[in-house]
Structure 1
Amino acid sequence: MPECGVSDALARGPPTRMKLTFLGAADTVTGSKHLVEMGGARVLLDCGLFQGYKTLRERNWAPLAVPPAQIDAVVLSHAHLDHCGWLPVLVRQGFKGPVYASAATRDLAEVLLLDSAHLQEEDARRANRGGWSRHAPALPLYGVADAKRAIARIGVAPAGRGVRVGDARIEFTPAGHLLGAMSVSVRANGRTLVFSGDLGRGDDLLMPAPGRVAQADVLLIESTYGNRCHPRDDVQAHLGEIVRATVRRGGSVLLPSFAVGRAQALLLVLQRLKAAGEIPADLPLFLDSPMASTATALYQRHRKLLRITPREAATLTDDVTLVAGPEASERLTRQRWPKVIISASGMATGGRVLHHLKALAPNPRNHIVFPGFQVGGTRGAALVGGAREVKIHGEYVAVKATVSHLEGFSGHADADGLMEWLRGFETPPERCFVVHGEPVAADTLRLRIQDELGWRVSVPEHGAALDL
């Protein structure tokens, strides 16, 4: 059965109508999916995975409320999995249209989707061998073959030019946040819908500030940090202090990191710390994530999109050991001398970082540093919240290492940054919808928009379908 209100959105109306259906990231920060119907076209903005709490992850297994075969095109704002990671399921369920993205997003999405598929297949195999799944057999949400079929549908939108879907024109504006990330404008019949995507920071380590958008009749604004501001923290100095203190007591630093964006920012800061003599020049640095290594090469290929110098981009991995196969990763977990390890995933939900957590968390000499936002329901959120044990691969692991949270590494605009971007509009939109945030964050931003800007603004419910 379709969710409440969704079935009403399935009948195509005349070209002047605009319909908006919130299929994800409406009551949470993940699963970004917004269906726009205008100009005789049905366009899905983003196609992301739900992450975090089990009740949210279970939505990944439910059929989409709108038949995928009836969607004309998908537009990706950027390549993070909560924005593109459900695309293989959409294609498997019958979507046959084009997927549009920037060139860098297309390159990164290929890496992320293949890695996601591989991890899901491996997790299912491990669960079946270990017998800790309640399902017999445990199955991946999608596999590598599904991911390859989805990747084949992703086309590159020409830089500086839009694409057409029916009578609707799709245009892109750089959003900062991540390599290739864009805000999306959909124009048809004299009306414009703007989707912010995830907006970056004005002081981001790698990416330029998000570009301005002047006009929107309907606006979808993200709210990941809608209820808080980034600490006035010098993250380079703070990380340097952590590394020096940990090395002095003979411990190692583990940095669970998103492989795309965060890992490259961490490499940049660690290189700067070494160059300034603020951490030992001979301190071993390891990047234990094949996807992060590949993504770093893509950042170097697309270095013109970055705010750092070409030289800094070229030297991100100088004197860094890129850990390749799983055997090398397992050997690294057995090494006892001080070192810094960057490993995925960033919220400790899967991947090689789990083996390092099992090895390092029980030792009080070590330090685990989470450099960025942690979605509720993840191991990262539990550890940052003070958990003294976490369940990994079916067993509980004691946490005696120091755990820190460096929010200053976040690639998201904070509440003040979001408001600054909104003030760039020349006229107020007729309707503003706050999406992509936890309930408190979304509603706090809604109140600020209402009180400070006087706009008509609301937080939509998951599955809501609105005829505008």
Structure 2
Amino acid sequence: MTRPTTLTFLGAAGTVTGSKFLVESDDQRLLVDSGLFQGDRAWRRRNWEPLAVPPASIDAVVVTHAHLDHTGYLPILARDGFEGPIVCSEETAQLLRIVLLDAAHLQEQEAQWARESRVSKHADPRPLFDTADAERALGLLRPVPGSEPVTAGPASVVLRRAGHILGSRFAEVTIDGRTTAFSGDLGRPDHPLLEPPEALGSVDQVVVESTYGNRHHDAFGEDELAAVLTRTLRRGGTALMPAFAVDRTALLLHVLRGLVHDGRVPDVPVYVDSPMALAALDVYRAALRPGGDFRPSVVADPRPFDPGRLKLVHDPGESQRLNDPRHPCILISASGMAEGGRVLHHLEHQLPRSHNTVVLTGYQVSGTRGRQLADGAKQIKIHGRYVPVRAEVANVRGFSAHADSSQLLDWVSGAGSPECVYVVHGEAHAAEALADKVRDKLGWTSVVPRHEERVLLR
């Protein structure tokens, strides 16, 4: 007897991170995305729990893009027995080598620090995964050029441009003639660097993200950014910009190039202090070709990521000196939500000084240091101790690479007449708002699934 095809929501259901969607048909299993939970401790603990099915029983994984909340569980899968192909775009494969190895290094560093400082409750703190696990996962990558259909476990899969970061794709997964579209993270049509998402064609089900499911974007926030940077630099301060190493750093450099060229921001040194961001910039530069993910105007620019006085920081000693630069400058450092990396050292030294500014330009997940700063915290805990927040904190909106509520609805509306739209990857209020909008505007069945809920696809 043939078993029904099912979809189980193993992540990004009730939260904005941890994307994992399990498709099962007969005796085969396909996992779409394999992300880490981030933010609140209750969600992060799930990273340590066994997966609902044995990793060795999964036949293939499809990855929509390189961000850790969609890929960071891959090393754990590989360590625990998964040996199938990991299907993704060519650019995602290149970025994953950077992202996963960096994440493993940070995990190892944090475990070592916890052992040496003895602040951990565990007798022998260990990393969630290590470099060997990341290398094992990277050996399973199967990059797909263009939008050629490929077989992945029980399904035929087509990857189409999603416009969120370089290499990002949404996945059309077809089993027994029925297709489910997984949006991954969907980009904005007006992204300054990237071409807009491709249109969604007629499908039977849609699984769509809702990070900004209850909000509308204004235009990109160049005006507000220019004002924040100018007042900070004129008072002799450092403008510290925690930024995601993949895409956000490149986007900020491109926007700064325009602002400095137009005289709207003083021409000061712009430092990029993140080994991961520097490696990602190399991938972005190599992808500047006609017909790729970038807009033609970006491809035509000989230096699209150079504001003028760009300083790429490779040496740890130079990074330490930037804790107190002693001259007006802009400092871009990872991570974007201030959860790890060199930016923590800069925050530790610069937050207590009122002439500095911390400039937040991305979505800050609940429970992260970035969210605490955005919500007006008077002190935040870094490296085991509390640091006073005396610096200005500017939450500059308009730089998100996620589609907003109207843009998500426009994309979903191309689905024809799907049986159901499943709204995921959003905080509860955002997901419910988008689900309501799909029901009210399009007249379709739309639900916000629960964590580990299973539904029939056939």
| TM-score of the pair, normalised by structure 1 | 0.94
| Residue 226 (structure 1) aligned with residue 213 (structure 2) | yes
Amino acid of the residue matched to residue 254 of structure 2?
Answer: L
Residue type of the alignment partner of 2:191: D
Distance 2:397 2:264 in 1: 21
Residues 80-119 of structure 1 show CA distances to partners (whole Å, capped at 9, x for unaligned) of: 0000011000111110101000000000111000000001
CA contact (8 A) 2:220 2:399 kept: no
Of the candidates 27, 51, 57, which is equivalent to residue 70 of structure 1? 57
Instruction: Tell me which amino acid in the other structure corresponds to 2:301.
Output: E
Asked whether the equivalents of residues 324 and 350 of structure 2 are also in contact (C-alpha less than 8 Å), the reply is: no
Aligned partner of 1:209 in structure 2 is 196
Measure, in 1, the Cα distance between the counterparts of 2:61 and 2:181.
15
Shift of 1:313: 6.2
Q: What corresponds to 2:348 in structure 1? A: 358
Q: Does the 8 Å CA contact 2:29/2:154 hold for their aligned counterparts?
A: no
Deviation at residue 273 of structure 1 after TM alignment: 1.5
Residue 62 of structure 2 contacts residue 152 of structure 2 at CA under 8 Å; is this kept in 1? no
Report how far residue 439 of structure 1 moved: 0.8
Residue 392 (structure 1) aligns with: 382
1:405 pairs with 2:390:
no
Alignment of 1:286 with 2:271, yes or no, is yes
Counterpart-to-counterpart distance in 2, 1:132 and 1:440? 35
Conserved in 1, the CA contact under 8 Å of 2:61 and 2:152?
Answer: no
Distance 2:343 2:53 in 1: 36
CA separation of 1:39 and 1:311: change in aligned 2, threshold 3 A: farther
Structure 2 Cα separation of the partners of residues 381 and 256 of structure 1: 12
In structure 1, C-alpha distance between the alignment counterparts of 2:420 and 2:111, rounded to whole Å: 43
- AA aligned to 1:314 is R
The yes-or-no answer on 1:14 pairing with 2:2 is yes
Structure 1 residue 39 displacement after superposition: 7.2
1:40/1:166 contact within 8 Å kept: no
2:14 is aligned to: 27
User: Moved runs in structure 1, 4+ residues, more than 6 A?
Assistant: none
Which residue does the alignment assign to 2:423? 434
Residue 311 (structure 1) shift? 4.3
Alignment-derived partner of residue 245 in structure 2? 259
Shift in Å, 1:40: 5.8
TM-score by length of 2: 0.96
State the alpha-carbon separation in 2 of the partners of residues 80 and 166 from structure 1. 23
| Residue of 440, 449, 455 corresponding to 2:438 | 449
Q: Quick one: structure 1 residues 162 and 39, their matched pair in 2 at CA, closer, same or farther if it must change by over 3 Å?
A: farther
Asked if structure 1 preserves the Cα contact closer than 8 Å seen for 2:78 and 2:137, the reply is yes
Contact kept, 8 Å, 1:221 with 1:433, in 2: the verdict is yes
- Contact between 2:89 and 2:144, CA under 8 Å: does it hold in 1? yes
Q: Deviations over 1:209-248 (max 9, x none)?
A: 1111111111101101001112x25522221111111111
> 2:405 matched to 1:423?
no
Q: Say whether the 8 Å CA contact 1:344–1:351 is kept in structure 2.
A: yes
Report the residue type matching 2:421 in the other structure.
Answer: C
Matching of residues 28-177 of structure 1 within 5 Å: 28-38=15-25, 41-166=28-153, 168-177=155-164
Does 1:462 find its partner at 2:448? no
Using the TM superposition, give the Cα deviation of residue 310 of structure 1 relative to its aligned residue in structure 2, in angstroms.
2.3
Hey, what does 1:7 align to over in structure 2?
none
What displacement does 1:315 show?
4.2
Q: What are the within-5 Å matches in structure 2 for residues 342-357 of structure 1?
A: 342-357=332-347
Which whole-Å CA distance do the structure 1 matches of 2:147 and 2:159 have between them?
A: 7
SS of 1:160's partner is: coil
Q: Residue 297 in 1 paired to residue 282 in 2?
A: yes
Please give the alpha-carbon distance, in whole angstroms, between the structure 1 residues aligned to 2:134 and 2:340: 18
Deviates more, 1:354-363 or 1:162-171: 162-171
For structure 1, which segment, 202-211 or 123-132, has the greater mean C-alpha deviation from structure 2 after superposition? 123-132
What is the aligned partner in structure 1 of residue 223 from structure 2?
237
Distance 1:444 1:276 in 2: 39
Match in the other structure for 1:3: none
Checking the alignment, whether the CA contact within 8 Å between 2:208 and 2:421 is kept in structure 1 is: yes
Alignment partners' CA distance in 2, 1:39 and 1:159: 29
Structure 2: distance between partners of 1:38 and 1:446: 27
**Percent identity, aligned pairs only?**
46
Distance 1:188 1:422 in 2: 20
Deviates more, 1:69-78 or 1:163-172: 163-172
Unpaired runs of 5+ residues, structure 2, are: none
User: Where does the alignment leave 5 or more consecutive residues of structure 1 unmatched?
Assistant: 1-12
Report if aligned partners of 2:61, 2:84 keep a CA contact under 8 Å in 1.
Answer: yes
Alpha-carbon distance between aligned partners in 1 of 2:302 and 2:134, rounded to the nearest angstrom = 29
Q: Which moved more, 1:244-253 or 1:383-392?
A: 244-253
Q: Which moved more, 1:204-213 or 1:411-420?
A: 204-213
Q: How many residues align?
A: 452
Matched residue type, 1:369:
V
- 2:233·2:266 contact (CA, 8 Å) conserved in 1? no
Aligned mates of 2:240, 2:322 — CA distance in 1: 12
Report if aligned partners of 1:224, 1:437 keep a CA contact under 8 Å in 2. Answer: yes
- 1:118, 1:167 → 2: CA distance? 34
Report if the CA contact (8 A) 2:238-2:325 is conserved: no
Distance in structure 2 (CA, Å) of the matches to 1:359 and 1:338? 15
Judge conservation of contact 1:78–1:84 (CA < 8 Å) in 2. Answer: yes
Which secondary structure does the structure 2 equivalent of 1:31 belong to? coil
